[in-house]
């Protein structure tokens, strides 16, 4: 019962983070924020899935692939942000 409560709290926290990053994306149009919002959205699916799936179910292992996708998105966002040239002044 405690695990489900914590997974629910993590679901809520991930959703909140995704919404904040979407708001930042809307104001800056920086795709870094969009990628991070997507990663937190994927983590939301992961935590909600853990809360809803039976702990003894063998399909629970597939949720680790979902979490891996989220962390890959984080890495892609960071690499993308660091490889782009800085904006030029006045243009």
The pLDDT of residue 47: 92
pTM: 0.84
Mean pLDDT of the chain: 89
**Contact (CB, 8 A) for 40 and 18:** yes
pLDDT computed for residue 23 by the predictor? 97
pLDDT 10s digits, 20-63? 999 999 999 999 999 999 999 999 999 998 888 876 777 778 88
Question: How much is the pLDDT for 50?
Answer: 87
Rg from Cα positions in the chain? 16
Residues 18, 33 contacting (CB under 8 angstroms):
no
Percent of the chain clearing pLDDT 70 (strictly above)? 93
Q: Which residues are CB-contacts of 40 (< 8 A; sequence separation ≥ 6)?
A: 14, 15, 17, 18, 21, 70
Q: How far apart are CA 29 and CA 90, in angstroms?
A: 17
């Amino acid at each position: 019962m405690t695990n489900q409560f914590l997974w629910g709290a993590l679901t809520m926290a991930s959703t909140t983070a995704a919404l904040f990053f979407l708001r930042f994306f809307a104001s800056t149009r920086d795709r870094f924020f969009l990628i991070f919002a997507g990663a937190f959205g994927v983590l939301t699916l992961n935590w909600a899935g853990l809360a809803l799936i039976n702990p003894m179910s063998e399909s629970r292992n597939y949720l680790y692939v979902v979490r891996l996708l989220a962390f890959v998105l984080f890495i892609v966002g960071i690499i993308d942000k660091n490889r782009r040239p800085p904006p030029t002044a006045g243009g």
